[in-house]
Structure 1
Amino acid sequence: MEISDEILQSVPLHLRQTEMSYVGALKISHSTVHNLKRRGRLRTHTACNKPALSSDHKVARLRWILSHINPFTGNQDPTFVDMRNVIHYDEKWFYLNPDKRRFYLLPSEEGPYMAVQSRRFKLKAMFMAIIGMPLYGIDGEMLHDGKYGIFPFTVQQLAQKSSKKRPRGILETKALQNINREVIRLMLLTKVIPAIKSKWPESLAKDVVIQWDNARPHQVPRDAEFIEATTTNGFNIQFIFQPAQSPDLNVLDLGLFRSIQSLQYQFFPKDLDELVQKVKDSYDTFDPEVNKYIWVTLQNCMIKILKAKGGNKYKIPHMNKKKLENIGILPEIVVVQKEVVVEAVEYLNTMFRPANQGNEEVTEELEVDAD
């Protein structure tokens, strides 16, 4: 039975979300749809909500990416700047268990039983993670894995009442639910900055840049204690804000959190203490090779954003990084086509040029940023 592409596309998208509704609208059998997928006539696609971007967001994303490209002259294609001194920072909620789990069982096996007290109020904890680029030597040996730590927002306090799990007066772990500016400052002072100083590679300069998003609690403290912590022992730790609505410009949101969560869901923690330990174990066992791949993906996403004029309507690029790694041609710093950069700069020039100037020169500030 031959079905044309016009007939397949004539079904509205809201009737193409399940195979049942699709075959019902086409009035065909399920086996016909399976054959169409097997022959490549149909494909499955998962659509996810992406952050809504205004024109200001798109301009900010373009300017951010252009600032991360080395200056170039002539016909030579430019490259991204060296990011080995950059550390990405973000927070994420980790839950005790997912709503659904998939198992492979024998026909005679009984399905695992999962039960929770409330589907709305789930046991969870927020973690702060920091990650940098892995550092390799001339011979390819790994000098630093880029991992500086993952830290839970939890406190130890005395139990006020007795329960079947523990007696009254014993120390128990509680997850903080209100992560405000002061909590972030304390975490930076007691966990993040000491971890960076103790694990920072000796071969790199101590000018450290921490990139984080524009969440409301993310305010750089200006008190004397914090300034001293970021400038002692020869360090110069600075904080920069990535563009708003841009999780695709942070390696944690781009792939590392998903990798850690998939590892954490392989276990079955029973309480908050086990959840914290399993998340830390997942972070520690996270493959540094995958970390290197995510930083390469970040640079390729930047190229996609340039081509999309600052938008986020693009597919995460795949370049067979494992295969390129095996043959020794995986780039640590990605090359950008000169035409892509020039086109993005011309688009910004159009956005900033006053209407009465036509094709005249743009403002000096934008020219400096484009350079």
Structure 2
Amino acid sequence: MEISDETLQSVPLHLRQTERSYAGALKISLTTVHNLKKRGRLRTHTCCNKPLLTSDHKVARLRWILSHINPITGNEDPTFVDMRNVIHCDEKWFYLNPDKRRFYLLPCEEDPYMAVQSRRFKLKAMFMAIIGKPLYGINGELLHDGKYGIFPFTVQQVAQKASKKRPRGTMETKALQNINREVIREMLLTKVIPAIISKWPEGLPKDVVIQWDNARPHQVPTDDEFVAATTANGFNIQFVFQPAQSPDLNVLDLGLFRSIQSLQYQSFPRDLEELIQKVKQSYDTFNPHVNKYIWVTLQKCMIKILKAEGGNKYKIPHMNKKKLENLGSLPDLVEVQKEDVLEAVEYLNTMFRPANQGTQEDTEDLEVDAD
């Protein structure tokens, strides 16, 4: 049976979510739809929700990316700035077990059984992770893996009641469920900043930039104790906020959290303490080469955002990074086409011109600021 592309496209998207509903809308057999898929006439696509961006969000994303590109000199394409002094920071919930697991079994094997007491109240813990760019020597040797640590939001409490697991009065670990500004400050002061100072690579300037999102608890403290901690031992630790609704501009959200969670799900922790242990082990065993690839992907995503005029309607770019590394051509600082930079600057200028009702001098000031 020959079916034209116009006929296949005439079916609305809400009827194209399964092969059965698609076949029913076309009034053909399910086998015909399956054969069309095998022949390459149809493809599957998984669609997920992305953050909704306003014009202000897009402008902020373009400004952010342009600030991370070296100035244009001559006719050469510019590159991104070296982000060796930047550390990305973010939080994530890690669950004891996923809702679904996939196994490869023999026909004679019994199906695994999973049971939880409550599907609503799941055992989970929030972790704050910090990661930097890995450093390599001239000959390709690893100098620093960029890993500074992952820290759980937990407290030690005395058990009020006896159970089959521990007697009354035993110290037990409890996960904090309310992460507020005071909890974030305590985590930064006691765990994050000391870890950065102790693991910072020798030879690098001590001007450190911590990048995180602008969540409500993310407020930089200004008290004397915190300022003294960020300037101890000759360090100058500053905090910057990435643009709103932009998880694709953070290495942790871009791929590192997913890799750590995939490693953690390969284990079967039984309680909170084992969950914390497995998450830390997954972070420690995370391959520094994969961390290097994610930083390259971050720069590629920035180029996609430039071309999308600050939007997020694009696919995560794939460039066969492992193959390029084996060939010795994987770039550390990705080049940006000069035309893309100039088009982004021109787009920002056109965004500001209609809204500005002042003099010509005011318009020129806005254009310089966009540059």
TM bucket (normalised to shorter chain) is over 0.9
Structure 2: distance between partners of 1:137 and 1:21 = 56
Deviations 1:257-294 (A, max 9, x none): 00000111111110000000000011011111110110
What one-letter code is carried by the residue in structure 1 that aligns with 2:365? E
After superposition, residues 157-172 of structure 1 pair within 5 angstroms as 157-172=157-172
Structure 2: distance between partners of 1:27 and 1:200 = 65
Asked if 1:289 corresponds to 2:292, the answer is no
Q: State the partner residue of 2:74.
A: 74
Structure 2: distance between partners of 1:358 and 1:346 = 19
Structure 2: distance between partners of 1:126 and 1:293 = 25
Structure 1: distance between partners of 2:97 and 2:355 = 56
**Closer, same or farther: CA 163–238 of 1 in aligned 2, 3 Å:** same
What one-letter code is carried by the residue in structure 1 that aligns with 2:45? H
Deviations 1:209-234 (A, max 9, x none): 00000000000000111111111111
Q: State the partner residue of 1:115.
A: 115
After superposition, residues 231-246 of structure 1 pair within 5 angstroms as 231-246=231-246
Deviations 1:49-93 (A, max 9, x none): 100111101100000000111111321111111101000000000
Structure 1: distance between partners of 2:76 and 2:340 = 13
**Closer, same or farther: CA 337–247 of 1 in aligned 2, 3 Å:** same
What one-letter code is carried by the residue in structure 1 that aligns with 2:311? G
Structure 1: distance between partners of 2:359 and 2:70 = 26
Q: Deviation at 1:363? A: 3.4
* Contiguous gaps of at least 5 residues in structure 2: none
Q: State the partner residue of 2:46.
A: 46
SS of corresponding position for 2:231:
helix
Q: State the partner residue of 1:367.
A: 368
Q: State the partner residue of 1:318.
A: 318
Deviations 1:157-194 (A, max 9, x none): 11000112221111111000010111000100110001
Asked if 2 retains the 8 angstrom alpha-carbon contact of 1:301 and 1:317, the reply is yes
What one-letter code is carried by the residue in structure 1 that aligns with 2:364? T
Q: State the partner residue of 1:156.
A: 156
Q: State the partner residue of 1:254.
A: 254
SS of corresponding position for 1:149:
strand
Structure 1: distance between partners of 2:276 and 2:223 = 31
Q: State the partner residue of 1:269.
A: 269
SS of corresponding position for 1:348:
helix
Structure 1 window deviating more from structure 2 (144-153 vs 71-80): it is 71-80
Structure 1: distance between partners of 2:179 and 2:203 = 35
Q: Deviation at 1:21? A: 1.1
Q: Deviation at 1:366? A: 4.0
**Closer, same or farther: CA 278–61 of 1 in aligned 2, 3 Å:** same
Asked if 2 retains the 8 angstrom alpha-carbon contact of 1:23 and 1:33, the reply is yes
**Closer, same or farther: CA 357–169 of 1 in aligned 2, 3 Å:** closer
Asked if 1:350 corresponds to 2:342, the answer is no
What is the identity percentage for the equivalent residue pairs of Structure 1 and Structure 2? 84
Deviations 1:137-168 (A, max 9, x none): 00010100011000000111110001122211
Q: State the partner residue of 1:57.
A: 57
Q: State the partner residue of 2:125.
A: 125
Q: State the partner residue of 1:217.
A: 217
Q: State the partner residue of 1:188.
A: 188
Structure 1 window deviating more from structure 2 (250-259 vs 36-45): it is 36-45
**Closer, same or farther: CA 338–170 of 1 in aligned 2, 3 Å:** same
Asked if 2 retains the 8 angstrom alpha-carbon contact of 1:67 and 1:369, the reply is no
Asked if 1 retains the 8 angstrom alpha-carbon contact of 2:352 and 2:366, the reply is no
Asked if 2 retains the 8 angstrom alpha-carbon contact of 1:149 and 1:195, the reply is yes
Structure 1: distance between partners of 2:359 and 2:308 = 23
* Contiguous gaps of at least 5 residues in structure 1: none
Structure 2: distance between partners of 1:347 and 1:328 = 36
